[in-house]
Structure 1
């Protein structure tokens, strides 16, 4: 594809995070794309799930209706009102015009999602080029699921390679194989979740069956034997936190020099975002047993 066409492709980004050291080799810039086909109960980025931009309200940053109240006055649909001196939001009335965010002086009303071109994103990424050259780092696409916006994500990977930017992607693997195949041609590293081998449990906790994910992983491992691949399993209480679960995944992952495997411990750092979005967090009170991760990591090794 023509380089100018790729550079001008646009998509919806909800965060550009610099100086990451946990999502690929070296110092990296993570670009988070909106949209995901999964609905994992433990998702730490709920703002990533829906493709469209959306509003969030962080009450701890609000100047209060008594002091400010600009968002309520700016809302054209009456979705934001003042009751007993407090702001109340009726999300069923919200038309996503984002007038409230534009009026809010404190950032309490926040917009998740911005339309950006590939060129604009990569210009941000290239600001830290000196750190990439010294550490072997570069760009990592994440989400949500970056390949939900496959035209945008693939154009970004192609253009990044033209600019000699090291590329990686974090992916759930749930989409047509052709998307993963095209991505792999322009990747230095693939980071892919293998969450569970039990299809019924996978659907219960993520909303989708795992058959397509497992098949895509098999195919990309076979077709790209020189691509560096990291398989990851987030260990989730009540879902995949038994020794049998991890043994089954370890058995599935090919033992090849280009493929590695790691476990990620469950955390609740994304829980406050559910409140900001007016949603309920499904894993309230869940926790991993003491010492469990050490035992499971021994199995994974």
Structure 2
């Protein structure tokens, strides 16, 4: 059966999370709360309910099975009284229109590994592999290590996508089985980082430095968010200049995750400004980002 891992999605045929065609395993739970997070369903470790009112056909079957009356239909439409909800998920099981969707499940690593290896032919042809992401996959080091070991034994390239806000011991545990680290650096200034993510960045930068000084294979990803961390681009470029072998990518802010915030019925959803393409290209060229 293997070890249990708390995940919320497995995405096949990704081409944006490492080299080649990849399968991406998304772990649930994160130690950062980035205000712009495009996977808000990944932040909390607990299983959650997403509500997509535009899919609702008004059958009210969810209201019939809800034991606490948390499913509400009124003049404003369909919504969840989350103060009542006991997370029994009977509503999600009943909703055949997929207006109510549960996110998060505990799966054994053997079943996850089996699903990953179904695409090994595509990995071999494209020089791709598997990427473990999140949330923060490094918060579940035992399950992550088990999966990395299995992939390595099968000859599958492995990548770990991390924000680095975990004990160094977790890195030591996965290092022997990780071919590539996709490492997020969101800000150099501690106060900016805390304002953006809710936590300071000392451990993140320390872990990165230890990895880089060891000569590990690292690809840096810097999310560029106008009005939040856009003044950090030069500082991050200067910091990375110490390691000439490390490449970095600038990822411009987008609003593709906003529908998920609405589905979680979240409050105070971040509404940032999407940067202009010319601005992004200028910054990439000036500071050496991909």
Shorter chain as denominator, the TM-score bin is over 0.9
- 8 Å CA contact 2:51, 2:79 repeated in 1: no
Aligned residue for 1:269, secondary structure, equals coil
Give the one of 222, 232, 252 matched to 2:239. 252
The answer to whether the Cα contact below 8 Å between 2:152 and 2:158 also exists between their aligned partners in 1 is: yes
Contact 2:227 2:272 survives alignment (8 Å)? no
- Residue of structure 2 in register with 1:282 after alignment: 269
Residue 250 of structure 1: how far off its partner (Å)? 1.1
| Alignment-derived partner of residue 198 in structure 1 | 189
Give runs of ≥4 in structure 1 deviating > 3 Å: 254-258
Alpha-carbon RMSD: 1.6
**1:110 match:** 101
Partner of residue 43, structure 1: 37
- Name the counterpart of 2:259: 272
Which position in structure 1 is the counterpart of 2:57?
63
Q: 1:229 maps to what in 2?
A: 218
In structure 1, the gaps of 5 or more residues are 1-6
Normalising by structure 2, what TM-score? 0.95
- Mapped contact 1:246–1:299 kept (Cα < 8 A): no
- Count of residue pairs the alignment pairs up: 288
Match of 1:213 in 2: 204
Paired with 2:195 and 2:269, the residues of 1 have a C-alpha distance of 12
Q: Once structures 1 and 2 are overlaid, which stretch shifts more, 259-268 or 285-294?
A: 285-294
Structure 2's unaligned 5+ residue stretches are none
Please, which of 17, 24, 34 is the counterpart of residue 28 of structure 2?
Answer: 34
> How much does 1:211 deviate?
0.6
Distance 1:215 1:285, change over 3 A: closer
Q: Which residue of 2 aligns with 1:293?
A: 280
2:3 counterpart of 1:9: yes
Could you tell me whether the CA contact under 8 Å between 1:247 and 1:299 is conserved in 2? no
Alignment map for 1:75-114 (pairs within 5 Å): 75-84=66-75, 86-114=77-105
TM-score, normalised to structure 1's length? 0.91
- 1:37-91 deviation per Cα after TM superposition (whole angstroms, max 9, x unaligned): 1110100000000001111100111111xxx111111111111133248433100
